[in-house]
A and B are shown apart, each in its own frame.
Chain A
Amino acid sequence: MKPSPKVQKETIESCKAGDEKAFTEIVFHSQKKVFNIAYRMLGNLEEAKDLAQEVFISVFESIKDLKEEVKFDAWLTQITLNHCRNRWKYLKRRKYFNSDSLDDPVETEDGNMPRAIVDPSDNPETLYEKKSIQHFIQRGLLKLKEDQRELLVLRDLQGFSYEEMGKLLGLPEGTIKSKLHRARMDLKGILERAAH
């Protein structure tokens, strides 16, 4: 997945000055990225839409405080992630998701096993044919811990570099890599158990 081209510095400056057209341009430019991060993090289209709109409202209200226009993309992603974390906690408290228990513990190698996702097929290849792979992956993602899901969404779905991720999450690249590997292995385990 290719990263989207950056928003022009002039557009950000105009938006800071209160230009609505510039704001609209920013929304058009970034809405897909914000919406997709939100959807992969929450697993629900309506919630993702609402959250993405909240993100842009935050941008509209606080873009005047942005000092370095160059860091707009990182700033926008940070706002999106913060909104996602808060919304996830909020929805979890309200038990909004009634599908295969989002609260189930994540499977680990220690043997803490969640309920298996029931599927009639034994073969993942057949599963691929029968079901939408996106839906399958999405459910797998939602079974992961929130920070693991963040890493997979940023790196494997949104194509962020390790450097960008390090800055966003405030972690060293080595830590990001090891945590990301653990998240991938956990997802692999979840998908395998779901298929069997």
Chain B
Amino acid sequence: MDCEKVRDRFSSLWEKELTPSEEKIVKEHLSSCPECQKEFERFEKTMGWLRSVAEVEVPEGFLPELYKKIEERKRAPLGEEVRGRWLGFPLSFKLPVQAVAMVAIVFLVLYLTKMMPMEVFRLKDAKQPSFPLSEEKKSEQVLSQKEMEKERRVSGAPPETPRPKDVDLAKTPVPREEKFEGAYVPQVKAEAKKVETPPSRTEVMAYPPIESKEAARAKAPTPEPGKIEKGLAAKEKSAVASKPPREIILKVSDRDKMISKLQELVKQFGGEMVTAEENIFLASLPTGSFPEFEKELMGLSPPTQTDKAIAKKQAAGNLTAAPGVKREEVDEKIKELAKRAADQESRTMVRILLIQE
């Protein structure tokens, strides 16, 4: 048996746990190897010291202190108890819990940091009318528009009247948007800075259209005479889109009779027949006398579509409503008339369509 194996058996030899044969072999080696003999003597000495260590007496007051601690623990609030328990948990449990908590915090921070710029974008979107709005925002915008409408009525200008200003405003939608955005981006930044006192949304929503109109008025170029015809189609389209002429559809049995009556009525209400093209008539009437004129006209023949909204929609969306009419010719006429009518702010354009029964 070599030295290393003999030294590995020192504990067993000292505790007398070796088998007699093993003990004999080890002892023979020890007697023949002075190094191993010396090592074993040192080992015996260490064991002697170790086993000689006496027990230490428990300090005085151990039990009263223990009871005091138990009482304190009973009175301790739940938080401290939980904290104490937490400290008592093994590290194998605490580490995964702490790791999960860390990951959760990191995700939370990432989520929040991503959310912040999103909020700013949302505010921007809310201010841009060209973007689709949520129901809440839409209703807010409608409210603000109604307020503006009211203001306009108070000032005396009828909202439905197509005005040259409106034509111009409709003509320049792009600079209007640019101005709008340019004017409000810094405001968004300012809002972001003033986190504590952000302005109410209705204020934000109500303000942009006024600002944009003013901007559009400022930017809108004065139309030159030569360019009028060129840009008239676009103007007319936008004018129709913003302030469409009134349209009345009449079912008639005697066309000629109806035409003469129509002309009489127009004259009677201080208007003038601008054009008479087969079954389409365009008349210019003073805005104040229009409701009565309409009433009288309805008395001549029941309209096919009495719903104003539908009539407006048709006029705004599609000018080819009348069958058998050459669209181009009609368009040109309407353009001219719209121009003339636009010069007179207080007049209302009425288009009357006659349909043979």
Contact = CB atoms under 8 A, between A and B. Distances in A.
A89 B91 contact: yes
Chain A interface size range? 35 or more
Interface string B40-72: 001101110111111111110011011001100
B73 interface: yes
B42 A188 contact: yes
B11 interface: yes
Contact of B10 (A90, A137, A181): A181
B80 to A, nearest CB: 14
B12 interface: yes
Interface of B is mostly: helix
Contacts of A138: 53
B58 A157 contact: no
Contact of B53 (A31, A49, A82, A137): A137
Interface residues of B, number: 32
A157 B11 contact: no
A39 B56 contact: yes
Interface string B68-86: 0110010000000000000
B59 to A, nearest CB: 5
A89 B90 CA distance: 11
Nearest to B45: A124
A180 B50 CA distance: 13
A176 B57 CA distance: 29
Given A56-B66, A86-B87, A184 B46 contact: yes
Contact of B69 (A36, A53, A152, A177): A53
A26 B12 CA distance: 35
B8 interface: yes
Contact of A184 (B47, B53, B56, B63): B47
Nearest to B44: A188
Nearest to B52: A133
Contacts of A60: 70
B51 A177 contact: no
A76 interface: no
Contacts of B65: 49, 53
A82 B87 CA distance: 12
Given A35-B58, A86-B87, A177-B12, A57 B53 contact: no
A184 B91 CA distance: 28
Nearest to B73: A57
Given A31-B58, A32-B57, A35-B56, A156 B51 contact: yes
B221 interface: no
Nearest to B68: A53
Interface of A is mostly: helix
A189 to B, nearest CB: 9
A134 interface: yes
A180 B54 CA distance: 20
Given A133-B49, A156-B47, A157-B53, A57 B70 contact: yes
Q: Which of B42, B65, B66 has the most CB of A within 10 A?
A: B66
Contacts of A22: none
Nearest to B91: A89
A138 B47 CA distance: 13
A136 to B, nearest CB: 7
A27 interface: yes
A48 B8 CA distance: 34
Contacts of B56: 35-36, 39, 45, 48
Closest 4 CB pairs of A and B: A181-B11, A188-B46, A156-B50, A53-B66
Interface of A: 1, 24, 27-28, 31-32, 35-36, 39-40, 45, 48-49, 52-53, 56-57, 60, 82, 86, 89-90, 124, 128, 133-134, 136-138, 152, 156-157, 177, 180-181, 184-185, 187-188, 191-192
Given A32-B58, A56-B66, A137-B50, 15 more contacts: A27-B62, A28-B63, A49-B58, A49-B59, A49-B62, A86-B90, A128-B49, A137-B49, A156-B50, A157-B50, A177-B11, A184-B50, A187-B46, A188-B43, A192-B42
9 contacts: A27-B63, A28-B63, A36-B56, A56-B66, A57-B70, A82-B90, A133-B53, A184-B47, A188-B42
